[in-house]
Amino acid sequence: MGHLQQFTLTGKGTIDGRGNNWWGKQKSRPATIQFNDVKGSALSGLTVTNSPQFHVTLTNCDSVQIVGITIQAPESGPNADGIDTFQSTNIVIKDSTIGTGDDCIGIGDGSSNIRISDITCGPGHGISIGSLAKGNTKADVHSIHVNGAKLKSTTNGLRIKTWQGGSGMARDITYENVHMEDVSNPIIINQFYCETGDTGSRCKAQGSAVKISNVQYSNIRGTSATEDEITLLCSQSGSCTGITMENKDLVTNSGAHAACNAQHVKARTLGVVIPSACLGQNAK
């Protein structure tokens, strides 16, 4: 659907993309619902299942609300993202349940003023910004706010991923009031993102990277399936700044407080932050 204004797609039914007919057989696969150049519109109530690829995509959209939808796909479904935004602004995603084989919500290049609230995610790869700046391109993502999310048994929690060699920015990002259960890699910034199995030069430092700044994590609690609860892998160029952690308490599934791993970044801590040893206590 494209070039629409004041359009509403709503209902209580199910849209089944029958992705099992596509998975593993075709490289070029369609999304189930695509909003292209849509303004002042809404998607609500529906259940979307088993998309060949992404379930819902927003491209070049402005002022779109996605409310009260359910997205379901098996964990094995390849690239079956729940909701993805590209080159879109003033987007609201709330009161929805998403379980897929990839990102529950993916925020791509050109996204700004994205408001996400009261989301249940799992299975899947969590809530992701990126990947950004693949192929030495320039990225611009800003003003992203996640407030209220429950993530269960996802392979990542809150993730920002960028490629080496790129440029641009990802800034003014807030995550708050997030509960995790059995989540691998609960908090991760990875400026050395690579495709699975790629160990070439694209995975190594290239002298430039997307600048990540003003990222705040507040009231993040629950259990981690891995030992590293916090992973901040930033470039030597100092392109990660203004990272703040406030009132974060994650433990492993056994109840122990695990480790954190921070590279070329210091995070400012407020309140009780566990673990915090790698962050640089109260760093600025």
Please indicate whether residue 84 is annotated as part of the active site.
no
Tokens of 174: 């807030």
Of 55, 81, 109, 125, catalytic: 125
Where does 61-166 show beta strands of DSSP type E?
A: 62-67, 70-72, 83-86, 89-99, 105-107, 112-121, 127-132, 138-152, 158-162
Helices and strands, counts by H and E, the chain = 0, 22
**Cα–Cα distance, 174 to 33 (Å, whole number):** 27
125 in catalytic set: yes
Q: Which long-range contacts (CB under 8 A, 24 or more apart) does 105-111 make?
A: 105/81, 106/54, 106/81, 106/82, 106/130, 107/141, 107/144, 108/84, 108/132, 108/141, 109/133, 109/137, 109/139, 109/140, 109/141, 110/86, 110/140, 110/141, 111/85, 111/86, 111/87, 111/141, 111/144
Q: Which residues contact 71 (CB under 8 A, 6 or more apart)?
A: 47, 48, 49, 55, 56, 82, 83, 96, 97, 98, 99, 100, 104
Q: Pick the catalytic residue: 102, 142, 179, 249?
A: 102
Angle at CA 65, nearest 5°, toward 111 and 221?
70
Catalytic residues: 102, 125
